Amino acid sequence: MKASIKKGFSFGLTSGVITTLGMMVGLSASTRSQIAVIGGIIAIAIADAFSDAMGMHISEESENNHSPKDIWEATVSTLLSKFFFALSFVVPVLVFKLSTAILVSILWGVSLVIVFSWYLAIQQGVKVYKVVFEHVAIVLLVIIITHYVGKWIASFCY
C-alpha cells in the first residue's frame, strides 16, 4: 500500500473507531436513545470525516516534503476510511436493541483495531502483543471515560 494512502487509511480507521465508539457509549449512557446514537454516528461519519481529512491535508502540506498527489491521496483516504468505518457502527444499532448494539459495536471496533495493529506490528518487525495492547488500551480508556461522563450528564437530566 502506498505510504500516503496507508497514512490516511490508518488515521481514518483509528479515528473512526475511537471517535465513534466514544460518542456512541457516551450518548447511550446519557440518553438511552437509539435515534440519538444513530444521529450521532451519521454526524461523526460526515462532519468528523471531513474535519479529519482537512486536518490530514493541512498537516501533510505543513511538512513541505510531500507532492500534491501524495497530499491528496492521504486526504481522500482519510475521508473515505473515516466515513465508512464510522458509518459501519450504524448496522448494530439498527439490528439490535441499544444495549446489545453498544456491546457488538465495542467488539467490532476493538477487532478492527486489533487486526490493524497486528498488521502494523508485523510490518514494523516489533512485538505484536505490545502494539495491540497499547492500541486496545487506549480504545478501552476512551470507552470507560465516555461511559462515565455520559452517566454523569444523565444524572443532571433525569
Q: 40-89: per-residue pLDDT in tens?
A: 999 999 999 999 999 999 999 999 899 999 999 999 999 999 999 999 99
Q: 90-100: per-residue pLDDT in tens?
A: 999 999 999 99
Q: How many other CB atoms sit within 10 Å of the CB of residue 59?
A: 16
Instruction: Report the percent of the chain where pLDDT is more than 70.
Output: 99
Q: 104-121: per-residue pLDDT in tens?
A: 999 999 999 999 999 999
Q: Are 143 and 110 in contact (CB under 8 A)?
A: no
Kindly tell me the burial class for residue 53, based on how many C-beta atoms sit within 10 Å of its own C-beta (0-12, 13-18, 19 or more): buried
The angle subtended at Cα 54 by Cα 81 and Cα 40, nearest 5°, is: 60
Span 4-33, average pLDDT: 96
What pLDDT was estimated at residue 78?
97
Quick check: 1 pLDDT over 90?
A: no
Q: Look over the chain and give the mean of its residue pLDDT values, rounded to a whole number.
A: 96
